[in-house]
């Protein structure tokens, strides 16, 4: 009965601020959702609006994930929200987690608790700014694969303590493929002569693109230094972390008299 069953549900979604296009996407992405009773639909939508902060993000998630509106608020979502709050994770960081991986908030509560224990067991405190990033990363990396990364970096001279310290600073380190890390480490160690211990202390360097950042920035920096245009007294981690605009201003735009250096960057 479209008039008595579907129409009130569509009006309720419109009252919550969704356009006709948004509603179409929600229904198409979650076929069973519209069959729920109106109070259930209303409660779920309001909960996810609060978690995400906007209808646009909710519609975006509906397009990406056909299942997440189907989970029980009382049995799955709300208990996990409380667990996350107890960890001291702010609402803003919680939204980042959900947008990154909606299944984080819909997993079984016992799995979430085990994940938190695993993160803390690696020495990442709940007060750390990296705590929520570590949770997101380790949810996708099994303990077995984590050890594979440990052995990989040992091959470049890192100790287990080096690896764990680097991981705590930059948990996404174990989110990259080993092939990608292999190429970065070989370039940094063999071509730039960067000490593996330096990379262990500054693992953020390994998060940058090899082709788009590491290679071009190193080559223009050394090119300027070899021509006496820059004193070179700048650590690699510093100029690698510069936003693109700042790097261009400091190392490219102001050295127009050295077109060959600019060509190195391009």
Tokens of 215: 């290679």
- Residue 87 CB contacts under 8 Å (≥ 6 apart), including other chains: 116, 126, 131
Q: Is 21 a residue whose pLDDT tops 90?
A: no
- Cα distance between residue 56 and residue 26, in whole Å: 11
3-state secondary structure of 238: helix
Residue 1: its pLDDT value, please? 55
- Residue 265 CB contacts under 8 Å (≥ 6 apart), including other chains: 216, 217, 219, 220, 251, 252
Tokens of 155: 């091959």
pTM of the model: 0.82
Regarding predicted confidence, which is higher, 252 or 105? 105
- Cα distance between residue 66 and residue 57, in whole Å: 14
pLDDT band of residue 82 (cuts 50, 70, 90) is: very high
- Cα distance between residue 159 and residue 141, in whole Å: 20
Question: For the residues 67-78, what does the mean pLDDT come to?
Answer: 83
User: Over the chain, what is the mean pLDDT?
Assistant: 87
């Amino acid at each position: 009965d479209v008039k008595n069953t579907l129409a009130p549900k569509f009006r309720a979604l419109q009252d919550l601020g969704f356009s006709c296009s948004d509603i179409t996407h929600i229904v198409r992405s979650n076929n069973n959702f519209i069959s729920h009773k109106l109070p259930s639909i209303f409660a779920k939508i309001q909960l996810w609006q609060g978690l995400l902060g906007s209808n646009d993000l909710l519609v975006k998630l509906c397009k990406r994930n056909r299942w997440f509106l189907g989970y029980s608020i009382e049995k799955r979502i709300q208990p996990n929200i409380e667990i996350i709050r107890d960890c001291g994770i702010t609402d803003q960081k919680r939204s980042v987690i959900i947008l990154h991986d909606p299944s984080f908030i819909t997993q079984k509560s016992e799995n979430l608790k085990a994940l938190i224990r695993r993160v803390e067991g690696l020495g990442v405190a709940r007060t750390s700014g990296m705590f929520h990033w570590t949770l997101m990363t380790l949810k996708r990396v099994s303990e077995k694969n984590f050890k594979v990364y440990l052995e990989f970096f040992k091959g470049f001279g890192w100790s287990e303590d080096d690896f764990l310290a680097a991981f705590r600073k930059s948990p996404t380190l174990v989110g990259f493929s080993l092939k990608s890390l292999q190429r970065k480490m070989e370039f940094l160690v063999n071509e730039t002569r960067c000490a593996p211990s330096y990379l262990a202390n500054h693992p953020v360097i390994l998060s940058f693109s090899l082709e788009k950042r590491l290679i071009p920035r190193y080559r223009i920096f050394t090119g300027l230094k070899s021509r006496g245009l820059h004193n070179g007294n700048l650590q690699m981690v510093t100029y690698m972390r510069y936003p693109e605009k700042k790097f261009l201003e400091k190392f490219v735009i102001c050295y127009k008299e050295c077109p060959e250096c600019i060509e190195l960057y391009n």
